[in-house]
């Protein structure tokens, strides 16, 4: 993308033009949530203005239109990730709920004592705590894949930890802390030779690279709308149809039933047996609009832009001797997420001072306590980029880090 393209794209995101403490916002917290283009804002507004109704129930015009839009969004997601059937697309609240659905409806149902669950040490709590609970409840064994010094996985570690006793492998495609991109397709192929089911957490990756669940051969695949230009409160669970049909419902109530008697109930077919209650139709509509926007830009363009931004940021950070970066140095093996520490400065102080200069970054353990322990740090600061970011914003980050040092008495 050239400068003209970026300027045009940024005009689609009204929030990016606002001032923070008198300075134009440099929003570098995209791993936490992305900003929305006007087309997504308009789609949600138009739904509420013209089509708001409860889907799947009413036969009046608004109910029919809400159903049409909701199911059209499901089909758009199906095509976005190349699922085999729209029945394999379950709308959830977010990736966290989707992972919990898998853990409880599949893990709690099919795991036996002694069965192994394998995850990486870098997993977000959403893809860690639920498997802890399943392992405890079912007498299973939770095992971790540990990282090399370059923050990547050694294949020998994969072969050593995934065994004939492994029944579930659950792994993020991209680390929300390190930016590491894991070889999930190869891991899935190996795990399947051992008879394991593979869960891919694409919360961090779905907005940054093409997703093809059939090529990945993922048994389950989850992501959140708000990390890919969409609204909060909408997420997606993809599951292979044969697995979803085996699983009992996770939540019970309206719209997920076929028939209810006083002492019994039968449940609706896929995907509805996993979508209890009134769904987030406006969220689904917004997600569909976000997918349209991403497809319009194109992942080839998105990846090239983010590669350029990440390379530039890493080179600038490398010029600061008091900054330590966590994550792969090989740009092919990482996404646009950079966690860093500033010598002598607590990450929360770093983020707070940067905010004074209009630079928005994240600070803390990033919902990855075990990874922080593995790295032997209490927390990190994190800058994360999207295609609408600019090198000028990265320059603002670098200048802000220099100010952090001055504020805390280091001079430079």
User: Which CATH number is 245's domain given?
Assistant: 3.40.640.10
Domain assignment of residue 37, yes or no: no
What does the alpha-carbon distance between residue 406 and residue 412 come to, in Å, rounded to a whole number?
Answer: 6
The two tokens of residue 196 are 């394991």
Domain assignment of residue 412, yes or no: no
Q: Give the chain's end-to-end CA distance (angstroms, integer).
A: 34
Say what the pLDDT of residue 409 is. Answer: 82
Helices (H), 264-346: 281-297, 299-318
What does the alpha-carbon distance between residue 128 and residue 142 come to, in Å, rounded to a whole number?
Answer: 9
Q: Which of 357, 353, 316, 321 is nearest to 338 (CA)?
A: 316
- Domain range enclosing 258: 52-295
Encode pLDDT of 219-234 as tens digits: 999 999 999 999 999 9
Say what the pLDDT of residue 130 is. Answer: 98
Residues 155 and 218 in one domain: yes
Say what the pLDDT of residue 206 is. Answer: 98
CATH code for the domain of 336:
3.90.1150.10
Encode pLDDT of 347-357 as tens digits: 999 999 999 99
Interval 234-239 mean pLDDT: 98
Q: How many CA atoms lie within 13 A of 391 on its CB side?
A: 12
Domain assignment of residue 36, yes or no: no
Ramachandran area for residue 227 (φ above 0: left; ψ -120 to 50: alpha; else beta): alpha
Strands (E), 12-96: 19-20, 23-24, 26-27, 89-92
Last residue of a domain, one of 295, 315, 345: 295
Q: Peptide bond preceding 349: is omega within 30 degrees of 0, i.e. cis?
A: no
Interval 81-110 mean pLDDT: 98
How crowded is residue 328: how many other Cβ atoms within 10 Å of its Cβ?
21
Instruction: Determine phi and psi for 45, rounding to 5 degrees.
Output: -60, -45
What does the alpha-carbon distance between residue 29 and residue 44 come to, in Å, rounded to a whole number?
Answer: 23
Residues 196 and 130 in one domain: yes
Last residue of a domain, one of 295, 313, 340: 295
Q: 26 to each of 157, 204, 322, 324, 374, how far by Cα in Å?
A: 39, 20, 22, 21, 31
What does the alpha-carbon distance between residue 242 and residue 256 come to, in Å, rounded to a whole number?
Answer: 18
Domain assignment of residue 353, yes or no: yes
Residues 21 and 141 in one domain: no
Pairing of strands 166-172, 141-145: unpaired
Q: Is 345 a catalytic residue?
A: no
The two tokens of residue 221 are 């695949």
SS3 199: strand
Instruction: Determine phi and psi for 257, rounding to 5 degrees.
Output: -110, 155
On average, the pLDDT of the chain sits at 96
Residues 57 and 179 in one domain: yes
Interval 259-288 mean pLDDT: 95
Residues 132 and 236 in one domain: yes
Domain assignment of residue 104, yes or no: yes
Say what the pLDDT of residue 408 is. Answer: 84
Residues 278 and 224 in one domain: yes
pTM of the shown model: 0.96
Q: Is the pLDDT of residue 4 over 80?
A: no
Residues 270 and 284 in one domain: yes
Q: Which of 113, 119, 163 is nearest to 142 (CA)?
A: 119
Residue 3 pLDDT grade (very low, low, confident, very high; cuts 50, 70, 90): low
Domain assignment of residue 194, yes or no: yes
What does the alpha-carbon distance between residue 186 and residue 118 come to, in Å, rounded to a whole number?
Answer: 15
Domain assignment of residue 211, yes or no: yes
- Helix axes 299-318 and 281-297, enclosed angle (nearest 10): 80
Domain assignment of residue 43, yes or no: no
Residues 288 and 304 in one domain: no
CA 397 to chain CA centroid, nearest Å: 24
Assess contact for 220 and 243: CB atoms under 8 A: yes
Number of domains in the chain: 2
Lowest mean pLDDT among 55-64, 264-273, 352-361, 367-376: 55-64
Say what the pLDDT of residue 400 is. Answer: 96
What does the alpha-carbon distance between residue 54 and residue 169 come to, in Å, rounded to a whole number?
Answer: 37
Last residue of a domain, one of 251, 276, 295: 295
Residues 279 and 304 in one domain: no
Dihedral sign of CA atoms 212, 330, 155, 204 in order:
negative
Of 367, 377, 398, 408, which residue is the catalytic one? 367
Residues 263 and 384 in one domain: no
- H/E run at residue 222: strand 220-224
Q: Which of 237, 122, 207 is nearest to 386 (CA)?
A: 207
Residues 116 and 144 in one domain: yes
Interval 325-339 mean pLDDT: 96
What does the alpha-carbon distance between residue 360 and residue 34 come to, in Å, rounded to a whole number?
Answer: 12
Encode pLDDT of 98-149 as tens digits: 999 999 999 999 999 999 999 999 999 999 999 999 999 999 999 999 999 9
Say what the pLDDT of residue 242 is. Answer: 98
Residues 165 and 74 in one domain: yes
What does the alpha-carbon distance between residue 279 and residue 63 come to, in Å, rounded to a whole number?
Answer: 12
């Amino acid at each position: 993308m050239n400068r003209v393209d970026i300027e045009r794209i940024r005009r689609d995101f009204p929030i990016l033009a606002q001032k923070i403490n008198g300075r134009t916002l440099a929003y570098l917290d995209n791993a936490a949530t992305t900003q929305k283009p006007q087309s997504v804002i308009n789609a949600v507004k138009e739904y509420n203005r013209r089509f708001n109704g409860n889907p799947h129930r009413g036969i009046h015009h608004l109910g029919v239109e809400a159903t049409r839009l909701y199911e059209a969004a499901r089909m758009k997601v199906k095509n976005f990730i190349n699922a085999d059937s729209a029945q394999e697309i379950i709308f959830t609240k977010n990736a966290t709920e989707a992972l919990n659905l898998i853990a409880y409806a599949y893990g709690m149902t099919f795991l036996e004592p002694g069965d192994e669950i394998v995850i990486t040490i870098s997993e977000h709590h959403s893809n860690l705590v639920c498997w802890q609970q399943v392992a405890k409840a079912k007498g299973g064994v939770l095992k971790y894949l540990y990282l090399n010094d370059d923050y990547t996985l050694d294949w020998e570690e994969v072969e050593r930890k995934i065994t004939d006793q492994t029944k579930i492998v659950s792994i993020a495609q991209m680390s929300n802390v390190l930016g590491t991109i894991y070889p999930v397709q190869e891991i899935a192929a190996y795990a399947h030779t051992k008879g394991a089911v593979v869960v891919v957490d694409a919360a961090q990756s779905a907005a940054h690279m093409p997703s093809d669940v059939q090529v990945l051969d993922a048994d389950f695949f989850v992501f959140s709308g708000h990390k890919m230009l969409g609204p909060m409160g909408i997420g997606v669970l993809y599951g292979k149809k044969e697995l979803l049909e085996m699983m009992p419902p996770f939540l019970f109530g309206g719209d997920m039933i076929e028939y209810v008697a006083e002492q019994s109930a039968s449940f609706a077919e896929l995907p509805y047996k996993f979508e209890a209650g009134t769904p987030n139709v406006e969220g689904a509509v917004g997600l569909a609009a976000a997918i349209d926007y991403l497809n319009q830009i194109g992942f080839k363009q998105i990846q090239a832009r983010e590669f350029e931004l990440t390379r530039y940021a890493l080179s600038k950070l490398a010029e600061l001797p008091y900054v330590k970066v966590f994550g792969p140095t090989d740009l092919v093996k990482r996404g646009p997420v950079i966690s860093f520490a500033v010598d002598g400065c607590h990450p929360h102080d770093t983020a707070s001072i940067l905010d004074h200069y209009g630079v928005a970054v994240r600070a803390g353990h990033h919902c990855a306590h075990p990874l922080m322990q593995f790295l032997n740090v209490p927390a990190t600061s994190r800058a994360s980029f999207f295609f609408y970011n600019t090198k000028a914003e990265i320059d603002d980050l670098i200048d802000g880090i220099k100010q952090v040092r001055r504020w805390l008495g280091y001079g430079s």
